[in-house]
Structure formats: C-alpha cells, structure tokens
Structure 1
Amino acid sequence: MTTYIEPLAQESTPSIIADKLRKAIGHGELKPGAQLGEADLARKLGVSRGPLREGMQRLTQEGLLVSIRNRGLFVIDMTPDDIRDMYLAREAVERAAIQKILCGDHASAGAALCAVADRMLAADGDPAAIGELDIEFHELLVRLAGSPRLSRMHQTSIIETRMCIHALEETYLAADARAIEHNNLGEAIRDGDAERAERLLIAHMDDAIERLVNR
C-alpha cells in the first residue's frame, strides 16, 4: 500500500541549482548566447558536477538552454520568431487568467494591479526598477487567477520576458506612459470590462513584439 503521509523532502540540490540558473538568465547575469562551462559554474555554485548537470538538464527541457553537439550548452538567443512565439504563449495564458479573474472578485484584483502601476509611475528614471514592476504586474495578474497550472505555464515565458526587458530598457516608453498602459488594464479588470481588458492586453503584447523585433 502506498503511503502518502510521510515527511516532506527538502528541495533537491538540482532544483535549487535550476532556480539559481533561471534567475541568472532572467536578470542578465547569463547573457543570451552565453556558453555554460561546467567547471566554472560548479566552482561558483559550490556544487559537484552531477547535480549541476541535472539542474542544467531541467533548463534544457524548459527551453532556456540549448545543447549544441560537440560544443556544449548555451543560453538561448531569442530570435524574432522566438520572441513572437513567446508572446503568443504569454498572451494565451494571460487572457485565460483575465477570464478567470473576471468570474470572481475582479474589483479587488484590478485594484491590486493598479497599485503596481502606481509604483511604476513612482519609479520614473529607474528603467531596471520599472522593468521589474512590469514583470511583477504580469506575474500578479496570472497569480490572481488562482490557477497553479496557468502559473506554471507562465513561468518560463516570464524568464524569457526578463531577457527581452533587458534588451528593451533603452527603447521602453516613458515611465508614465507605461504606468498608464498598465493602469488602464488594471482598471478594465477592476470594472469587469472583459472586451476592453482583452483589447488592452493584446495591444500591450503587440507593442512589445514590435519594439523587440525591430529594435
């Protein structure tokens, strides 16, 4: 008989390594196209190569690393087609999240999202902070849907989005325009306006694609 009530296992070393590598990729410490050297990474992380390889394999399965035969492992380099595909996936997840939110307490959800937009406006002059708040807004949007599966699906595309945001910092709209853009989406959700929320989200994604692909 299978026993389900048993001591919980602590997070494994490969899981911790994978999480650290995801953050390093998302925040630009490991640049797009960079090669990952096992010996150097093992030394920096203070781990043996076995767990490191397992952690890197997880990121390969997620599409954040690519293995090139006879050369090694590399951080993905987002091509225009990759960017379009990533935003296609993000848009699908976030539209589904909005639909779920609108079936519940959309007023509170919208107010929480508008509060993040207010912080974006207050962070004018700090592109890195604004970029992080942009990500926070969209992570919160999906989290407010209360769907663990949507959140899991969103995770990899958000890391790829972080990579794109680093590339976009110099071409972003002025902070007040970006804050207004996010605030408008939050207000549409707060007011339960499904048509306006979907239209604003699609326009937001299309704008990001246009600036990334044509930068």
Structure 2
Amino acid sequence: MTSFIEPLAQESTPSIIADKLRKAIGHGELKPGSQLGEAELARKLGVSRGPLREGMQRLTQEGLLISIRNRGLFVIDMTPDDIRDMYLAREAIERAAARKLFLDGNHEAAGAALLAIVDRMAAAEGDPAAVGELDIAFHELLVRTAGSPRLSRMHQTSIVETRMCIHALEETYAASDLRAGEHAQLAEAIRTGDADRTDELLRAHMDDAIQRLVNR
C-alpha cells in the first residue's frame, strides 16, 4: 500500500502538508475516527510543527478533521447521515458541473474522455480497488471539464469523503457489477448532449451509491 505520510521531497508548506494528509485520509492510511499525533506526523513528514498545524487546520476547515476539546484532532467518522449528506453535496456539485459543461464546454470531447475511463473500468473488473479509483477519476474529470475552479474545490472534499467510504466499506461498495454500465450511460448522455438524461442519470447514480453504502 502506498504511504502518503512520508518525508516531503520539497520545501514544506501548509498546502503540501494538507494535500498529503488529505490523500492519507482518503486512501485509508489515516482511518476514520483515528487521532492525529502531532509529534509522530511531524517526524514522519520531516516537517516542523508550525506548518503541520496550519495544514491540519485547513483540513479542519474542510470538515475532514474534527477538534475535540482536551482530546485533540481526529479524522471524521462517516456515519450513515454523513454519507447521505456528502452525496447530497456531490449531486449538487456534479449536476451544476454538467449544466455548465453543456452551456460553455465541449460536451462531445468530455463524453469521449469519460468513455475512455469507462473502458478502463470494464477492463479492471474483478479488482475493486482499481475500479473504485477509476470511478472517482470519472467524476473528477466530469467536474474538471466544466471549467469551474470553485466547483472543483468543493468537489475535492466530497471526493476524499467518498474514498473514505469506499475503503471502509469496500466489499459492500464493490458488490455491484453494474458500475461500468452506469458510467457508460452517463458518459454517452454527455457525449450526445442530452442534458435532461445526464441530470436524471446523475441523480440516480448518487441514490444508488447511498443504497449500497448505507443500506447494507
């Protein structure tokens, strides 16, 4: 397993540290509910405590870490209500990104690029971790092609939380073998410029993810 908590190879800044910690949380290296030991993290990252505290504060503001008085900083624990709320936010962001893509972007090129990811998902069948990462890559690309830095920033936190859910509940999430097909339909709707169908599929896709992650 790749470790994201390792010495930084470049000048340490709070943003670089925050990105390292964000990836460690998303990929399960820092598990939901676990406490962050400041001294140990500073040692592993090879940084001083000042920039580390600033980086951790950024993740606290994003909602990925929670400060408990007299106890310290902890990685959030995704409850069923948290999962539902996170997918509500993701749905709003991705539907907005799709609308902007149809208005201002090149939906044909975006659809073709998304279909290429779907092909990789189909080829990775039987490898839940690989399919999960490609699933996330699909949605990151969808938002990125909208060309909205603000939507991309908001999407980043929800994607970390999505990774947390997938890693914590990988067997449940991977139980469905329909993900490549669902994404293929969505990519094709985008490629052909069918805005109504795209919106319908995005809503259904988020509802399906909640069912698999919460109602297990």
- Alignment TM-score, normalising by the size of structure 2: 0.91
**Contact 2:173-2:213 within 8 A present in 1 as well:** no
**Contact 1:13-1:51 within 8 A present in 2 as well:** yes
Deviates more, 1:173-182 or 1:64-73: 173-182
Aligned to 2:94: 94
Aligned to 2:15: 15
SS in 1 for 2:78: coil
Is structure 2 residue 168 aligned with structure 1 residue 167?
A: yes
How do 1:121-136 residues align onto structure 2 when only pairs under 5 Å count?
121-136=122-137
CA RMSD, 1 decimal:
1.5
How far residue 25 of structure 1 moved from its aligned partner, in angstroms, is: 0.2
How do 1:30-41 residues align onto structure 2 when only pairs under 5 Å count?
30-41=30-41
Aligned to 2:183: 182
What code does the residue aligned with 2:59 have?
L
How far residue 81 of structure 1 moved from its aligned partner, in angstroms, is: 1.4
Aligned to 2:146: 145
* Cα distance per residue 1:64-88 (max 9 Å; x no partner): 0000111110000011111111111
**Contact 1:120-1:175 within 8 A present in 2 as well:** no
Tell me how far apart the structure 1 counterparts of residues 42 and 12 of structure 2 sit (CA, whole Å): 16
How far residue 57 of structure 1 moved from its aligned partner, in angstroms, is: 0.7
Give ranges in structure 2 of 5+ residues lacking alignment.
1-9
Aligned to 2:63: 63
* Cα distance per residue 1:31-59 (max 9 Å; x no partner): 00000011111111111111111111111
How far residue 93 of structure 1 moved from its aligned partner, in angstroms, is: 0.6
* Cα distance per residue 1:72-123 (max 9 Å; x no partner): 1000001111111111111001001111111232111111111101100000
Deviates more, 1:119-128 or 1:10-19: 10-19
- Alignment TM-score, normalising by the size of structure 1: 0.92
**Contact 1:18-1:58 within 8 A present in 2 as well:** yes
What code does the residue aligned with 2:58 have?
R
Tell me how far apart the structure 1 counterparts of residues 162 and 173 of structure 2 sit (CA, whole Å): 14
Aligned to 1:195: 196
SS in 1 for 2:146: coil
Across the two proteins, how many residue pairs are aligned to each other? 206
**Contact 2:28-2:168 within 8 A present in 1 as well:** no
Give ranges in structure 1 of 5+ residues lacking alignment.
1-9
How do 1:197-212 residues align onto structure 2 when only pairs under 5 Å count?
197-212=198-213
SS in 2 for 1:23: helix
**Contact 1:121-1:175 within 8 A present in 2 as well:** no
**Contact 2:12-2:47 within 8 A present in 1 as well:** no
* Cα distance per residue 1:4-31 (max 9 Å; x no partner): xxxxxx9861111111000000100000
Tell me how far apart the structure 2 counterparts of residues 42 and 132 of structure 1 sit (CA, whole Å): 28
Tell me how far apart the structure 2 counterparts of residues 128 and 92 of structure 1 sit (CA, whole Å): 26
Change beyond 3 A, Cα 1:186–1:171 = same
What code does the residue aligned with 1:17 have?
I
Tell me how far apart the structure 2 counterparts of residues 118 and 174 of structure 1 sit (CA, whole Å): 19
SS in 1 for 2:172: coil
Tell me how far apart the structure 2 counterparts of residues 68 and 119 of structure 1 sit (CA, whole Å): 42
Aligned to 1:105: 106
Aligned to 1:27: 27
